[in-house]
Structure 1
Amino acid sequence: MRGPLAVLASLTIAATLAGCGLGDGGGRENARPTGQPAPTRGPVTTAEATPTYPQPSTPTSPLPALVGRTGTPAASLPAPGQVDGRDATAVARAVVTTMWTVDTAIDATRWDAAQRAAPFLTPRYAENLRLSPQVAAPGETWSTWAEHKSVTAVVAAPADDLGKPADTETSAFHAFSLTVTPTGRDGWRGPAVTTTVFVSLERASAAQPWRVSSVRAID
């Protein structure tokens, strides 16, 4: 049996050995000869203090445009030769009817339908539309129409009572309440969609035909 002094000596030795494990975790820092100063580390730099992480890359190429295929829609559309260019109301009605008459068998979005209205538009407005194809998905309603390969029928009711500005010889404004009804090639008939559109028209002189310079829609 070991005496109290032997036990105390064992505990003292164990405590001393345990103290040698402090420092860098491997005993190297405390293994230097007695009397030599401890090695010092230089100041912590910003790069060491704040780790840098790779930043997400930003795509540089534009999103692909949603463009339909070439073809003739299965619907009757106003033809330039059948619309009186001297009548601002008739030209405005022809434009909104054309823009909202879509054939989902060939059109990817309503942008394709808008291109068919180009003969009734000012050159600047037609070019702006041509250079602005849709890139986002057209939405759930369009997806349902496309599922049935639908063609829309458009009824344009005058809505000039909505604060219409006065017309001049070279500028005119007209509003319409549109009722757009899709019918599928499979016999499906969807609910009608109602939209209010505001149309601006202009011409160089009273001798020139009216052309649409902008169309704004409010659902």
Structure 2
Amino acid sequence: MKNFLVATTFLLAIAGSANAADVVVEEPAPIVPAGFVWTGGYVGIQAGWQWGRDHTEEFFGGVATGFDEDLDSDGFIGGVHAGYNWQSGQVVYGIEGDFEFAAVDGGYRLDNGNGTDFDMNWQASIRGRLGFVPMERLLVYGTVGAAFANLEYTYVSANTTFESFDETKVGWTAGAGIEYAVTDNITTRLEYRYTDFGSVSNLSAVAFPGFTYDHDPQFHAVRVGLSYKF
């Protein structure tokens, strides 16, 4: 009996050792952070430089007089923007609006002191955006939409008589840019846009009574921006 008990104890010890060898201790899987996603709302600031080409064409009684003078302008622009993006695969689409203060001006003077001055005090836009994500944090996009601006033309006679016309115009704007997510909440961008405000017509009553002056303000702008993504 004693030998039987010893043998049984020995066999149980071997079986226990075998079962212990079969136990595998699994380490917890490492937590992999989710990739950056462009979906979400954002607000930001922007600044840049804008330059434009315009002209003054003169009419009297609806008939062109033959006078046509180029009018160039340029200056600083800066303001705020806000929008929302949706991402589907590598495609990002969204909507964005912005408002900028502008110090864009220009004009010309003829030898006789006659001329036209131009000023833009503010501009804004609301646009759609459509982009592609070639890398997780890099967005290449195009944008198009409606533009709004305050345009002021001042007609000058002999550098002594000044007559100003101030108007808020609606036009269109389109461009392209690149945006990079520095962190999960901070993105930077570089953007170019072209803006066209159609035609502007003013009938002078003081500087050149009875004469009408037509303009076609068009602008190019390069902006840099910084956004906070919610």
Does TM, scored on the shorter chain, surpass 0.5?
Answer: no
Higher-Rg member (1/2): 1
TM-score, L = length of structure 2: 0.30
TM-score (norm. length: structure 1): 0.31
From the two aligned structures, give the one with the greater strand fraction: 2
Structure with more of its chain in helix, by fraction? 1
